[in-house]
Structure formats: structure tokens, C-alpha cells
Amino acid sequence: MTAVTIRDAFWDRIRETVRLEGIPYQWKALNDEIENAAPSYCMRNFRIAAGKESGPHGGFMFQDSDVAKWLEGVAYTLEWHPDQELEATADSAIDVIVAAQQPDGYLDTFYIINGLDKRWTNLMDCHELYVAGHMIEAAVAYYQATGKRKLLDAMIRLVEHIRSVFGPEEGKLKGYPGHPVIEMALMRLYEITQDPAHLELARFFIDQRGQEPLYFPLERKKHGNGFYWENGVLEYAYYQAHKPVREQKDAVGHSVRALYLYSGMADVARATDDETLKAACERLFESITQRRMYITGAVGSSEYGEAFTFDYDLPNDTVYAETCASIALVFFAMRMLAMNPDGRYADAMERALYNTVLSGMQLDGKRFFYVNPLEVLPEACAKDQRKRHVKAERQPWFGCACCPPNLIRLVTSLEKYVVTQENETLYVHLYMGGDISAKVGDEPVTLHVQTGYPWEGGVNISLSAEHETAFDLALRIPGWCAQYTLHVNGEAVETQAENGYIHIRRSWKNGDSVQLALDMPARVVRANPRVYENAGKAAVMRGPLVYCLEEQDNGANLHLVRMGADPQFATQWQPELLGGVVTITSCGLRETCDGWDEQTLYACERGIEIRPAELKWIPYYAWANRGANEMRVWIRT
């Protein structure tokens, strides 16, 4: 019932970079045309599977999913910027993909090339349902953007094949994907087809997961599959398959798999009004955001298993914090908002989006982070095996390239995260310039939004409506905002936030206006004392943005820097720096190495000299755009 058009100074620059640079660059990467980058093999695999070329399968068994996410990003882009040449390129990719589909509907190049006799024999590790899920999502998005059904019809045939293999009926497999995503993909397909079979299959995969006897051990025994996680700390929790989903209380295992699963659970819970599933989603959301999430909205603290570990375990330098995991957190939070408009969900979505998600891509759209640390010493990344997964600079591509196309499909689809409608209430979750069009009853209304967010806290909304229309406009007051003012048609309005939203209930006329001013000072933020790594440390935020110190601005040895007792923050808009950012300067302290020669490692008589220092902070998302250098989010106080 709502449609959003984004015209926003902050996001337009990023989205145009993705459209003009990122999407063409990634198409070249998918065709192995990027010099000095890890090969993808993705489109080559499809050409081989379609009989257009010959050769072995290349790359990981799930490489097909990369082009699916790229196609999904293309589809969203075409919605807000039609481009015949880009659409023709996407059509050509779809032609090759569909040509590889088997007569029974099956589609997965790894098994088509290596032998169809082995398909569906290793759901735990071989990603067939994961690949199918991403292909379904691409097909739905492309149909919605272009009206073209070729890929959509192919995916409906694939789903029919999957339904012939899996289900509660006698003779069908009682399995579920080792890597979830098909659950929320089937729900997106259900929105298009309204075929109850698509909903039932999604619900089957969710309900079946973790039921005794566990499917994965049975599958391993039957087909002789190995088990990498055996006798480790994760085992089947790595796949969120250690117990039924309604009994899970803590976010565990591989963080991306977990959040894709929770997103599918939320979709099914909303569609079926399943209160037990809703309650499980709420518990898991709380587990993540209250005890297992970084200040940047990053999740998944351990390199081992790319996984959640335990409450308050949030190391800054050995962190994993995969870009895909924060993208998945955005997916989950938005689905929770659709089920229950509560500012907690929008706060988590915004935190992840403006910090870790954006950090995952270079400002030029052509280099990427898989891992998003909160503390970096470049020498340690190169010489300490425990930190080899952490990079001081973004990479041109990855052999496992899930993050780059995942990032573009989110950035190009931001329209879908700005607002939701519940009967006669419009909930504005994210503040971006542009237009929000909606129907309230039978009356169309349009909200014209102007804002300097995230650099400024002012949000101005004017209304266009043919007839006077009564509805409730609910504007989010972010959790970070301590003070705000609200005016309607120039008159001050006193109102209290309810579950993170202020509600303006009135009969609206053409030309009415709302002015919301969110106070946006730089502020010192501390972690719960239970976070071992951040005891005695603090971070700096302004609005939704986390800030960091870089060696480029503050010199080396950032571990010697302290935050002063009275930081005296000052902000400055620097249009020529890092694509245009607000920087923060503050008063701080720095320990010196004076009096310590390089040959003395420990001593009693040496003193520590502490001198005043001016600190310069930049937004975390923009770090590592000026070469490899030290970086820190948390510093001592």
C-alpha cells in the first residue's frame, strides 16, 4: 500500500556509485574479468551446465548464489533508474541460468556438472536449498521490477521439484537446509503467487529443523558425509539445528545462517499468526541486540564458525562481524517491524545499516570487506595467524563472494525499509529524503520528506492530498536521541513516544507540514561492564553513526590514546573528505614512549608521561579509504 522514492543527499551518492560502478564491476567479477582478483567461476559454471562450454565446476558449491544476488540488486535498481542496457545484460544472464535448468526443474550447477545422482544427499553442507532460495528471491524481484516471468516461472518449476522431494508426506525427505534462506525466499514467492503450497513448504522447513531424530546425523550415516564441527563447541548448533526453533533462546552458530533463519521464521509467524513462533523471534532478537551485538550493529564475534559465541563476548581485534551478517540483521529487524512496529527493531536496523553494512564497501564501490573489525593494527593482520581473517584494506573480490552482491541488493532496495503501514497508521522507520506515497482507505496521500540525515537531525515533511484524510503519522524517535522538538504547521506539539514512535493523529489537509528536530550532539558511549574487552573504554557516536580514530589523522600507536574527562566535542562538515563527512574533534590524552628505549621491555623506574592531544574522529563506515592504517573504535578513558 506504500511506495517510496528516495532523493537523499547521503544515499543518492552511495546508490549512484553502486549503480554506475558497483554493479558493472561485479558483473565483470562474476565473469572472471577483474585483474588480480579471486576468480568467481559463477557465470562460467552456468555456461558449462547449460552445455555452452565444457570444463569442471569452479569455486565453491554455492557460487550460483552470487549471480542471484547480483540480479536481485539489478532488479531493485531498475525500479528507481530504468536502464535498457543493464536490463539486457540481466536478461542475458537469465537466459544462461534458465538454459541450465533440468527437465524436472532442478537447478544447481555444482550437481549438474558433477553428477545429479548425488543431489539432495548432503543438505547439511552442500547449499542446494540455499542457492535455490537466492534464485527465488532474484526471480521475484526481477518480475516485480520488469514484469518478465522467465526466471520466475523457472523458479516455480524448481519449487515444484523441491516439493516433490521434501515434505511431511510418506516417502519424502524430512530434511531442511544447512544454510537457511529458502524459508524467507518462499515467503516472498508466496506474496506473488498466493499459492498456499509455497507457504506450507516454508513452514515445513522451519518446523522440521531440530526435531528428533536430528536429520543431519541420519543423512551423514546414510551417505557417508563428513562433519567438520564434530567434537567442537558448535556441532549442530552451527546450523541452528540442535533443537526445534521454538525452543531456541539464544542466537547461536553461524551468524548469517542464524539471521536468515530468523527472518524466515518472522515471515511465517506473521503470515500464519503463530504466537509461539513470534515469541521465539522476539527472544532471539533480544539475545542478539542486548547481549551479542557490537556497537556498530555487527554480529558474529568468532572467526571459528563465523559464529555467535556467548553473552557479552565482543572482541574488537579478532572479531568476525561478516558484512552479510549485518545485512541479515537488517532483514530480520525489518520483518520484526512488519510484525510489530517497535522502535527497538528500527534502531537495530539503522545501527547495522549506517555502520557495518556501509563499512563493507569502499567509497568507490569496487572493493569490499568480508570482516568488519573495530580495532586494526595492519602488522598484526599480516603476521598474527589469529587475525589473518582481518584485513586492513578492502579486497577486490573473494573466492567466497557472498558479501559484495548481498550489499548491493540491500543498498539498491532501501525503499522497502523506510516505512510500513498498519491500517490507517503510517510508520516512518528511517529518515531519508524523498516521497512516501500511500493509500489510507481509498484516499492517496504523499509525504514529501527533506532531511540532512545522518549529518543533521532535522526532518521536514509536507503533505499532498486531494481530499482531507484522517490518519496516524508515526515518526520514530531513535533510541540514541535524548531530546527532540515537534511542530505541526509551525505550532509546537507536545507528545510522548510510544514504543519508540510519536503518533500524530489528525485529519490531514493538502499542504500540512511537520517539522521534527532530533538533537544530535556527539556523545560518549560505554559498553555494559560485562563486555570484557571494553572495560575502562569508551566510544563516540553522533546520531546513528559510530565514529573511530584512524592513524591517518591521529598518528600511530592508537593504543596509547585516551579520551579526556571533558572531551569538548566540536563537529565540522568536510565536503572534500571521504565523500563528504562530519568529523568530530575532541580533547584527549596520549601516553608517550619517551624514556623507554627499544631494548627495555620491562622496568620499575620508568615513568609514563601523559600529554594533552587533540583527537580527530571520522565515521566508522569510511575508515580504510585512505590506505592501510591503524584504526580504533573503543579507546581508554
| Count of positions (residues) in the chain | 637
Select which of 306, 375, 551, 630 is catalytic. Answer: 306
Sole residue written with cell 511465517 = 268
C-alpha cell at 396: 577486490
Report the alpha-carbon distance of residue 394 to residue 392 in Å, rounded. Answer: 7
454 prior amide bond cis, ω within 30: yes
SS3 163: helix
Residue 191: exposure state from Cβ atoms within 10 A (0-12, 13-18, ≥19): middle
Set of cell numbers at residue 581: 563527512
Q: Decide if 604 is catalytic.
A: no
Answer whether 558's CB lies under 8 Å from 552's CB: no
**Cα-to-chain-centroid distance, residue 593:** 41
Q: What angle do CA 245, 326, 243 make, to 5 degrees?
A: 15
Annotated catalytic residue within 42, 381, 402, 403: 402
Could you tell me which of 303, 296, 310, 312 has the C-alpha nearest to residue 371?
303
Task: Residue 382: count other Cβ atoms within 10 Å of its Cβ.
Answer: 13
Residue given cell 500511500 in the structure block: 438
Our answer to whether residue 306 is catalytic in this structure is yes
Residues 39, 350: Cα–Cα separation, whole Å = 33
3 state SS for 326-383: HHHHHHHHHHHHHHCCCHHHHHHHHHHHHHHHHHCECCCCCCECCECCCEECHHHHHH
- Nearest residue to 448 via CA among 493, 511, 506: 511
Residue with cell 569510511: 622
* Coil vs helix vs strand at 78: helix
C-alpha span between 633 and 637 (Å, rounded): 13
CA distances from 467 to 441, 443, 444, 464 (A): 12, 7, 9, 9
Short-list 254, 172, 181, 246, CA closest to 215 = 172
Answer for the pair 10, 411: CB distance below 8 angstroms, yes or no: no
**Peptide bond before residue 315 is cis, with ω within 30 degrees of 0:** no
Strands 631-632 and 458-465: unpaired
Give, rounded to a whole angstrom, the gap between the first and last alpha carbons of the chain. 49
CA atoms of 523 and 543, how far apart (whole Å): 9
Rg of the chain in Å (alpha carbons):
25
- Which residues sit opposite 525 in a β-bridge? 539
- Cβ-in-10-Å burial (0-12, 13-18, 19+) of 35 comes to exposed
Residues belonging to the active site? 306, 402
